[in-house]
Amino acid sequence: MSYQSIDILQKSLASTVFSTKKDAKKAAGRALGTIVEIITYYLLREWGFTPNIQIETKLPEFGNEEITHNVEFTLHQMLHKEEQIAVKPLTYTRIKNLFDFNPQHSKNGSFIDKNNILKNSAVIGKHNNSIAICNLSGNKLVLSFIKEQASAMFECKRVGVEDGQKKGPQTIEKAKQGAYVALKSSSLQRVRDKFGNVFGVYFKDGVLHTQKYEEALNDCIQSDNLENFILSFGVVSNHGNWFTSNDMNKELKVLAQSYDRLLFLTDDGLYTFIEKTILNPCLPYIPIKNAFISSYRDGKKTNSFTKSKILLEAHGALTEFFHNNLSLVESWFNIISPNGMTIEEIKHQLHYLINKE
């Protein structure tokens, strides 16, 4: 599957689902970007991180908390969790009553509204330096209390190819945006010497320390060596923007040297997901197709096919899809950096980082 095929798919969506939109191809491209986020989110859930995920986190820069950047997902260490049987419709207020939870900083909203739209990883309040996150797992409500400090962050980047162009004109800007956030969010900072060697620099008890970057990174994962350490992940898709026929484009090199872990969602993977869940789904996955199409129909005011807000039946079908096809989904990802790392190693590192004392 080549990027030209993804471009054909985008044009096909533009002429069908988005045919009434002012710029149909751009609308289809934005939908493809949403799908990349959904794949990433439900993969993290299937890996066992459902109670640890916060969506659209305002992540502060290290040492300069006046500046924050929205990132797609952050993973946090969990302090504890509670469960209750879900009864819909559900508001945040009703959830707090069910769990007898009275947060210091409370939020209002609908977790499952009257139209059966679910709010994934819903932040319902903050209490004692922890964040209360509500999720649906089967027929159960799971209320998890997580640390405010993130342990890992994920950003998804996809740029469409305009007609007559070899790659999207905003590709380098997207790369620079992602690189800036990745480099500014963690207390483990990168410094490069004139020979291209990368070192990790950090302060501990007011003293400056330095060592080779990967060594420092592994020390931070394996121990509580560094406060405010965040493992950064980038997820990119579309070969037309990030690769040439022979090598990585400059944009991908920018991302690879900035994120701790850079994952590439292959064109074949993106196409296969769309084929199996939207274009030609089998019976259990038809709710995914229905949610996608209804979310973009004319007159629709609320999008119901995003990582954070999704129709309840589509959520159940996506959960089933990722559970039944985990090995297939994992095969859709190439690890760009560090070279030689596997998906299994990434999962192990994340579980160790999130679950260590």
Find tokens 């320390």 and name the residue. 209
CA 296 to centroid of chain Cα atoms: 22
Highest mean pLDDT among 10-14, 85-89, 100-104, 231-235: 231-235
pLDDT band at residue 104 using 50, 70 and 90 as cut-offs? confident
Per-residue model confidence as pLDDT tens digits over 238-263: 756 666 545 678 888 888 899 999 99
pLDDT band at residue 3 using 50, 70 and 90 as cut-offs? very low
309 DSSP β-pair partners? 119
Query: What's the sign of the alpha-carbon dihedral 67, 261, 149, 188?
Result: negative
| Least confident segment among 16-25, 156-165, 228-237 | 156-165
- The token pair that represents 137 in the structure block: 């797992």
List the 198-204 sheet strands across, edge first: 189-192, 198-204, 207-212
Helices (H), the chain: 3-15, 24-44, 92-98, 171-184, 213-222, 239-242, 250-256, 267-274, 286-295, 312-324, 326-331, 343-355
Cβ atoms 310, 304 nearer than 8 A: yes
Taking Cα atoms as reference points, which of 169, 153, 172, 173 lies closest to residue 29? 169
